[in-house]
């Protein structure tokens, strides 16, 4: 291993370390201080308390998350965010390494020479401040770990290629005896090959859908080095061992499912369920297809051209215009231009053929963002060669400063989450006023996921029975309800048992009667509402009103607004919504455009779609409260309360117009 460490050139890693530390601090300062909407709260939960995450399970992330969540420096949620910051910074540092090594290969000189460091710094800066990486480096998510593994494997492959190309003339490599490679190839080459295999295979134990994109690129680098390496038994053995070791991490899900976890997504207790979880079998009926493909294509290229910054775009267009002439030889052109272009092309196919939900879709484009920034660094190097030494220094300084300034200015609105408190505030404002033993029915993951974390990690409102109706389609969630809400079940039987048996048939792909399942569900939910009324009351959130399968039973259970929820009650009284956290509401409103609030979501930044959902909570609560006052107490009281709301609720004038329109339509119960 000594030759390997000598090949690292410790004194030349200073730029790498400086970029990592600077980016890490930058991400820490702009990251979310607490829970975040969508899946972040759930990842914080399974990291802190154990359990299984949603498909494909992410065993590597869960194991690393347990380590970070156990650190005593801050809350588990904050420490899991720190983990995202760490790997996001490491990924941007890897981009520096990829760009510098690539430039060194095509220049046939030392890749750490000063005139080559700064183009690589530009690539790393563009990536670190890009909208895509910055967004995911400030929340509790799996994507920064994944892009780090992809970039690290790419860097290791390039380092192995650089050593191999210096050891043997590529033009004569065909005459070499492949069997003799093992004894004569320098040891650092095999060390970097091992690193490449370890990083790339570990990605399969995290987010395999995007990690698979790097394997064709690594194979292309291998082919450029020497096609005969594909037959090298040592290399194949190394890859096989790394692949087997990485995939074996999924066996951890069996351990996690048997430790009384806070949530046991997938109910994994045999290999069939494990395979189904890894492949995302339960999502086969909800994947979205070609309906959004046009927008996905536009967003993909916009995320590269604008999200990575105009300086990076200028560097690619201007630099690569001369790049074909500057980069000599097909091998160098393949490494410098072909590998990044292949990664962008593969990522484009994945994004357009496998269209995921709007909150996570841009994360699938992170490999393309990394390749785009590498191309920008190579483009900057091409431009610098056309200038004198002094002109090149000035141009590089201007480009790096412009990239930092423009990217931070453009992406700060989307990516700076240092004031983010929406998730915790929403949960507390919905649930704090409720009496003990109340039943709360929700269809909004942005409410339920933060509540799960607060309940299981911080012990918040464990006296409530909060149930997610969307997860009631899964057999393992019925087990969760049995384990954690045992005292509620006696008053919920036999309807709960009958529906749970039908859910198991549906969720495991067995024959089932859809109409019978809906009828069983209606009876189950009506019995749940009745059981809740006998305790502390039964409530539902506004998201339930937007789902047809919920309306079929909610129409038979009268509900009236109370706070930010609906209370199942026959009383005609509507409890007026009291002032909430004004700053948080203003923060949520600042993330939305007027066009989005009017219903035009084509202008919505998709990562901010959860804010739109949260805003609807407040919008529905305010409008229903004002409508009830208008119906029961008249215009004078209506105007007075609206004036009070104006101090803390943005767009109260719009809400008043909507209420008056509903009132004129003579639909006093305009809730459904």
Q: Is 467's pLDDT higher than 70?
A: yes
Query: Where residue 273 falls among pLDDT bands split at 50, 70, 90?
Result: confident
Burial code (b: 16+ CB inside 10 Å, e: under 16) for 465-501 equals: bbbbbbbbbbbbbbebbeeebeebeeebeebbebbbe
Contacts of 387 (CB under 8 A, 6+ apart): 395
Mean pLDDT of 571-576: 72
Query: Where residue 602 falls among pLDDT bands split at 50, 70, 90?
Result: low
* DSSP code string of 257-299: HTS--S-BTT---SHHHHHHHHTTGGGTTT-B-GGGHHHHHHH
Three-state secondary structure readout of 552-621: HHHCCCCEEEECCEEEECCCCCCECCCCCCHHHHHHHHHCCCHHHHCCCHHHCCHHHHHHHHHHHHHHHH
Residue 387 gets which letter from DSSP?
Answer: S
**Residue 51 phi/psi, 5° resolution?**
120, -170
Strand pairing class (559-562; 439-442): unpaired
Give the helix, strand, coil percentages of the chain, each rounded to 5: 70, 5, 25
The percent of residues in the chain predicted with pLDDT above 70, rounded, is 89
466 lies in some domain: no
Calpha distance 368→458 (Å, rounded): 39
Mean pLDDT of 267-272: 86
* DSSP code string of 163-232: HHHHHS-GGGGGGS-GGGHHHHS-HHHHHHHHHHHHHHHHHHTT-HHHHTTHHHHHHHHHHHH-GGGGG-
| pLDDT of amino acid 668 | 46
Calpha distance 34→40 (Å, rounded): 10
Calpha distance 519→346 (Å, rounded): 45
Q: Is 236's pLDDT higher than 80?
A: yes
Q: Where does residue 266 fall: left (phi above 0), alpha (psi -120 to 50 degrees), or beta otherwise?
A: left
Distance of CA 302 to the CA centre of its chain: 19
Query: Where residue 225 falls among pLDDT bands split at 50, 70, 90?
Result: confident
251 lies in some domain: yes
Q: Is 594's pLDDT higher than 90?
A: no
Mean pLDDT of 163-184: 57
Q: Of 88 and 117, which is predicted with more confidence? A: 88
523 lies in some domain: no
Question: Which of 197-201, 347-351, 574-578, 626-630 is the least confident region?
Answer: 574-578
364 lies in some domain: yes
Query: Where residue 178 falls among pLDDT bands split at 50, 70, 90?
Result: very low
**Residue 472 phi/psi, 5° resolution?**
-70, 0
- Kindly report the average pLDDT of the chain as a whole number: 85
Calpha distance 110→484 (Å, rounded): 62
| pLDDT of amino acid 289 | 45
487 lies in some domain: no
| pLDDT of amino acid 603 | 65
Do you find a cis peptide bond into 574, omega within 30 degrees of 0?
Answer: no
The neighbour count for residue 419, using CB atoms within 10 Å, is 12
Three-state secondary structure readout of 572-591: CCCECCCCCCHHHHHHHHHC
Mean pLDDT of 234-243: 92
Q: Of 172 and 38, which is predicted with more confidence? A: 38
Mean pLDDT of 358-373: 90
Q: Is 217's pLDDT higher than 70?
A: yes
Q: Of 506 and 154, which is predicted with more confidence? A: 154
| pLDDT of amino acid 624 | 86
Looking at 406-507, which runs of residues are DSSP E strands? 439-442, 465-468
For the chain, the first-to-last Cα distance in angstroms comes to 69
Calpha distance 299→149 (Å, rounded): 24
Q: Where does residue 388 fall: left (phi above 0), alpha (psi -120 to 50 degrees), or beta otherwise?
A: beta
User: For 511-523, how does the pLDDT look when each residue is reduced to its tens digit (9 = 90+)?
Assistant: 878 888 889 999 9
| pLDDT of amino acid 456 | 93
473 lies in some domain: no
Q: Is 22's pLDDT higher than 50?
A: yes
424 lies in some domain: no
Q: Of 237 and 570, which is predicted with more confidence? A: 237
Calpha distance 377→358 (Å, rounded): 30
Highest mean pLDDT among 82-86, 169-173, 319-323, 387-391: 82-86
Mean pLDDT of 63-85: 94
The continuous run of DSSP H or E covering 20 comes out as: helix 14-30
Mean pLDDT of 582-604: 77
Number of domains making up the chain: 1
Q: Is 355 helix (H, G, I), strand (E, B) or coil?
A: strand
Calpha distance 315→384 (Å, rounded): 10
Residue 356 gets which letter from DSSP?
Answer: -
Which residues is 577 bridged to in the sheet?
Answer: none
Query: Where residue 195 falls among pLDDT bands split at 50, 70, 90?
Result: very high
Distance of CA 165 to the CA centre of its chain: 38
| pLDDT of amino acid 351 | 87
| pLDDT of amino acid 26 | 96
Mean pLDDT of 374-379: 91
Mean pLDDT of 306-319: 87
What is the chain's Cα-based Rg?
A: 28
Query: Where residue 581 falls among pLDDT bands split at 50, 70, 90?
Result: confident
* DSSP code string of 122-152: HHHHHHHTSHHHHHHTTSS-SHHHHHHHHHH
550 lies in some domain: no
Sign of the dihedral defined by the CA atoms of residues 105, 107, 113, 115, in that order: negative
Tell me the whole-structure pTM to 2 decimals: 0.90
**Please, are residues 92 and 144 in contact by the beta-carbon 8 Å criterion?**
no
Q: Is 619's pLDDT higher than 60?
A: yes
65 vs 195, 304, 416, 652, CA distance in Å?
Answer: 22, 29, 22, 42
Mean pLDDT of 155-183: 66
| pLDDT of amino acid 89 | 96
CB under 8 A, 24+ apart: contacts of 389-394: 389/115, 392/115
Query: Residue 84's domain spans which residues?
Result: 2-265+291-415
327 vs 379, 381, 626, CA distance in Å?
Answer: 11, 11, 68
């Amino acid at each position: 291993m000594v030759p390997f460490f000598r090949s690292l050139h410790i004194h030349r890693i200073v730029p790498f370390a400086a970029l990592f530390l600077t980016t890490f601090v930058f991400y820490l300062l702009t990251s979310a201080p607490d829970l975040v909407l969508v899946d972040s709260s759930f990842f914080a939960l399974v990291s802190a308390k154990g359990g299984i995450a949603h498909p494909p399970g992410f065993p590597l992330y869960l194991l690393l998350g347990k380590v970070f969540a156990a650190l005593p420096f801050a809350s588990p949620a904050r420490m899991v965010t720190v983990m995202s910051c760490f790997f996001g910074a490491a990924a941007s540092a890897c981009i520096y390494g990829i760009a510098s090594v690539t430039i060194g290969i095509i220049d046939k000189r030392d890749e750490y020479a000063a005139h080559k460091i700064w183009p690589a710094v530009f690539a790393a800066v563009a990536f670190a401040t890009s909208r895509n990486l910055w967004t995911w480096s400030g929340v509790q998510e799996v994507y920064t770990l994944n892009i780090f593994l992809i970039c690290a494997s790419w860097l290791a492959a390039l380092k192995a290629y650089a050593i191999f190309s210096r050891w043997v003339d590529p033009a004569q490599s065909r005459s070499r005896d492949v069997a003799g490679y093992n004894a004569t190839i320098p040891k650092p080459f095999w060390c970097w090959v091992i690193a490449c295999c370890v990083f790339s295979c570990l990605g399969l134990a995290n987010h395999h859908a995007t990690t698979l994109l790097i394997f064709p690129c690594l194979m292309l680098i291998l082919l450029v080095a020497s096609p005969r390496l594909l037959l090298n038994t040592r290399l194949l053995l190394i890859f096989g061992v790394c692949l087997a070791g990485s995939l074996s991490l999924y066996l951890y899900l069996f351990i996690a499912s048997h430790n009384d976890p806070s949530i046991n997504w997938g109910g994994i207790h045999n290999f069939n369920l494990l395979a189904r979880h890894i492949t995302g079998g339960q999502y086969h009926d909800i994947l979205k297809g070609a309906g959004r493909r046009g927008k996905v294509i536009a967003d993909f290229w916009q995320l590269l051209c604008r999200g990575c910054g105009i300086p990076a775009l200028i560097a690619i267009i201007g630099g690569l215009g001369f790049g074909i002439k500057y980069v000599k030889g097909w091998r160098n052109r393949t490494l410098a231009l072909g590998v990044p272009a292949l990664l962008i092309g593969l990522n484009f196919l994945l994004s357009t053929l496998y269209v995921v939900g709007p909150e996570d879709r841009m994360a699938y484009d992170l490999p393309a963002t990394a390749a785009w920034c590498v191309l920008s660094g190579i483009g900057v190097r091409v431009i610098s060669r056309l200038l004198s030494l002094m002109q090149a220094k000035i141009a590089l300084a201007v480009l790096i400063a412009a990239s930092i300034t423009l990217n931070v200015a453009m992406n700060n609105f989307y990516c700076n989450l240092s004031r983010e408190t929406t998730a915790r505030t929403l949960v507390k404002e919905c649930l704090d006023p409720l009496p003990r033993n109340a039943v709360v029915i929700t269809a909004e993951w942005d409410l339920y996921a933060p509540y799960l974390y607060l309940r299981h990690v911080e012990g918040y409102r464990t006296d409530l029975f909060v149930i997610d109706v969307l997860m009631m389609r899964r057999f393992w969630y019925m087990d969760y309800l049995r384990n954690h809400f045992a005292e509620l079940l006696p008053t919920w039987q036999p309807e709960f048992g009958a529906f749970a048996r039908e859910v198991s048939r549906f969720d495991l792909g067995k024959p089932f009667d859809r109409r019978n399942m809906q009828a069983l569900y209606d009876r189950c939910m009506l019995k749940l509402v009745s059981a809740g009324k006998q305790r502390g009351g039964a409530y539902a959130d506004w998201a339930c009103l937007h789902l047809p399968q919920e309306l079929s039973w909610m129409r038979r259970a009268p509900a009236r607004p109370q706070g930010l929820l609906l209370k199942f009650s026959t009383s005609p009284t509507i409890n007026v919504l009291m002032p909430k956290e004004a700053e948080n509401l203003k923060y949520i409103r600042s993330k939305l455009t007027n066009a989005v609030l009017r219903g035009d979501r084509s202008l919505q930044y998709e990562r901010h779609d959860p804010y739109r959902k949260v805003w609807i909570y407040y919008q529905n609560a305010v409008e229903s409260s004002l409508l009830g006052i208008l119906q029961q107490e008249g215009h004078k009281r209506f105007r007075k309360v609206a004036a009070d709301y104006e101090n803390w609720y943005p767009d109260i004038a719009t809400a008043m117009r909507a209420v008056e329109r509903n009132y004129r339509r003579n639909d006093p119960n305009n809730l459904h």
